[in-house]
């Protein structure tokens, strides 16, 4: 069995790549899949703290590539979840410590043991980006509804397609429903119109993301979080289910709409 | 309320964002400068004018993205909108 290798990328920094990687990975493992998260941001590792696994790192990605340790030794098992592992980035090296061929081999080796290999790509379009996409067979582009992030996403989509990663999927992060309704934030249709790629998910802006990141626990495991619910939908879509997107511009109140969409409007038992 | 919304629509900041993005992306996408597009436009006018009389003022040319039919992948596309005034009599060329 060969697993899927998915790179999570964006171009611009700070749009939620690492949070998205952590949540999708956790969501897939909650659905019974074996998952390894790979932090490809060498020199600026972050996925470990977002996952709350920062105290358990012994070896890292560069150690594996350089043959300092075996691949299995560098994988950190997340004890909270059935089959979730992290391969942390090196913090003291820079992105030139590995090359695309080595990353491709690493991804292939991991895909032989896991259902999903999720690569957290660094910001930018230089060596780190080229390394991260080298072994991937699918790409997720994360953006926020801001001109700078959308512009960078467009550039990334072009670069992904030029590297043979066809049909990247879009996640629109940090949508603020109230601003969309006022006409002060681009809506989903605007962004699909501009970027012309398939939509994988829309994540509402949610304070619980900050809270869960403070704790090192992905928000997807928090039942009452809207962002968590949106990520659960993303995971189901990734697994091939057909889940409708939320309509942000109807006259229904936002919470009513979300409640309806997620089936939370049932009376408490 | 609806009327107000409709009236306000053209000046909402998201529409401004969208228009600005569309313009900047045209040039980002193919590394095409406005001068380069003007060159193509001039050449197109030259060629097409042999066969038909066109509205040069109304001619629009832009870069966009489209899904390719064979494999559904997104590819850049050059779109030209050329209003025709009159076909020329081919015998006179």
The CA-based diameter of chain A, rounded to the nearest angstrom, is: 59
- Average pLDDT, stretch B36-50? 89
A141-175 per-position pLDDT tens digit: 999 999 999 999 999 999 999 999 999 999 999 99
- Does B67 contact chain A (CB < 8 Å)? yes
pLDDT value at position A268? 38
Whether the predicted pLDDT of A209 surpasses 50: yes
| Nearest Cα residue in chain A from B2 | A251
Give the separation between CA A254 and CA A170, rounded to whole angstroms: 22
User: Do A116 and A34 form a contact (C-beta atoms < 8 A)?
Assistant: yes
Does A183 contact B18 at a Cβ distance shorter than 8 Å?
no
Q: Give how far B12 is from chain A: nearest CA, Å.
A: 5
- Does B23 contact chain A (CB < 8 Å)? no
- Average pLDDT, stretch A240-256? 69
- Average pLDDT, stretch A111-140? 96
What is the separation of C-alpha B47 from the centre of its chain, rounded to a whole number of angstroms?
18
| Nearest Cα residue in chain B from A146 | B17
Q: Give how far A213 is from chain B: nearest CA, Å.
A: 30
**Structure confidence at residue A259 as a pLDDT band (50, 70, 90):** low
Contacts of B44 by beta carbon, 8 Å cutoff, 6+ apart: B59, B61, B80, B82
**Domains: count for chain B:** 1
Q: Strand, helix or coil at B17? A: helix
Percent of chain B residues past pLDDT 70, beyond the cut: 81
Give the separation between CA A78 and CA A47, rounded to whole angstroms: 12
Give the separation between CA A201 and CA A256, rounded to whole angstroms: 20
- Does B16 contact chain A (CB < 8 Å)? no
pLDDT value at position A124? 94
Q: Would you give the end-to-end CA distance of chain A in angstroms? A: 43
**Can you say whether residue B64 is alpha, beta or left, with left for phi > 0 and alpha for psi between -120 and 50 degrees?**
beta
Nearest Cβ partner for A151 among B12, B14, B21: B21
Give the separation between CA A13 and CA A129, rounded to whole angstroms: 12
Determine the topology of domain A4-262 in CATH: Rossmann fold (3.40.50)
Structure tokens given for A60:
């890292």
Give the separation between CA A173 and CA A167, rounded to whole angstroms: 19
B25-38 per-position pLDDT tens digit: 877 877 777 788 88
The mean predicted confidence, pLDDT, of chain A is 92
Smallest CA-to-CA distance from B45 within B59, B64, B33, B32 is with: B59
pLDDT value at position A269? 37
Mutate to test the interface with A, among B21, B22, B28 (most CBs of A within 10 A): B21
Does B18 contact A184 at a Cβ distance shorter than 8 Å?
no
Give the separation between CA A171 and CA A198, rounded to whole angstroms: 9
**Structure confidence at residue B1 as a pLDDT band (50, 70, 90):** very low
User: Do A230 and A203 form a contact (C-beta atoms < 8 A)?
Assistant: yes
Distances (CA, A) of A263 to A86, A260, A266, B38: 33, 5, 7, 54
Q: Which domain holds residue B75?
A: 2-92
Q: Give how far A63 is from chain B: nearest CA, Å.
A: 37
Whether the predicted pLDDT of B41 surpasses 70: yes
Smallest CA-to-CA distance from A175 within A162, A165, A185, A167 is with: A185
Task: Lowest mean pLDDT of A34-48, A55-69, A187-201, B18-32, name the range.
Answer: B18-32
Chain A residues interacting with chain B (CB cutoff of 8 angstroms): 145-147, 150-151, 154-155, 157-158, 161, 166-167, 180, 182-187, 190, 193-197
Does B65 contact A196 at a Cβ distance shorter than 8 Å?
yes
| Residues on chain B touching A166 (C-beta within 8 angstroms) | 71, 73
**Structure confidence at residue A265 as a pLDDT band (50, 70, 90):** very low
């Amino acid at each position: 069995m060969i697993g899927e290798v998915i790179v999570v990328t964006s171009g611009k920094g700070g749009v939620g790549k690492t949070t998205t990687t952590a949540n999708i990975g956790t969501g897939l493992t909650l659905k019974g899949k074996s998952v390894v998260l790979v932090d490809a941001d060498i020199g600026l590792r972050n996925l470990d703290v977002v996952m709350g696994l920062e105290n358990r790192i012994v070896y890292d990605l560069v150690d594996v590539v350089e043959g300092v340790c075996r691949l299995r030794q560098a994988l950190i098992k997340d004890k909270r979840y059935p089959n979730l592992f992290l391969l942390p980035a090196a913090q003291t090296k820079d992105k030139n410590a590995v090359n695309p061929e080595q990353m491709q081999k690493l991804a292939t080796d991991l895909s032989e043991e896991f259902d999903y290999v999720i690569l957290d790509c660094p910001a930018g379009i230089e060596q780190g980006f080229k390394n991260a996409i080298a072994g991937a067979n699918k790409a997720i582009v994360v953006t926020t509804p801001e001109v700078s992030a959308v512009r960078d996403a467009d550039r990334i989509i072009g670069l992904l397609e030029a590297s043979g990663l066809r049909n990247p999927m879009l996640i629109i992060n940090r949508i603020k429903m109230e601003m969309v309704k006022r006409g002060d934030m681009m809506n989903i249709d605007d962004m699909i119109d501009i970027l012309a790629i398939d939509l994988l998910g829309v994540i509402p802006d949610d304070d619980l993301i900050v809270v869960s990141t403070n704790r090192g626990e992905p928000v997807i495991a928090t039942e009452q979080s809207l962002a968590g619910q949106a990520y659960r939908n993303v995971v189901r879509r990734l697994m091939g289910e057909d889940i409708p997107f939320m309509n942000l511009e109807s006259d229904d109140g936002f919470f009513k709409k979300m409640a309806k969409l997620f089936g939370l409007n049932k009376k408490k038992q | 309320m609806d009327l107000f919304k409709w009236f306000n629509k053209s000046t909402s900041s998201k529409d401004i964002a969208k228009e600005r993005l569309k313009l900047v992306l045209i040039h980002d996408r193919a590394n095409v400068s406005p001068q380069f597009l003007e060159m193509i436009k001039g050449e197109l006018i030259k060629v097409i004018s042999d066969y038909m009389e066109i509205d040069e003022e109304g001619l629009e040319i832009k870069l966009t993205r489209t899904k390719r039919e064979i494999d559904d992948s997104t590819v850049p596309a050059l779109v030209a909108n050329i209003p025709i005034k009159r076909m020329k009599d081919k015998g006179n060329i």
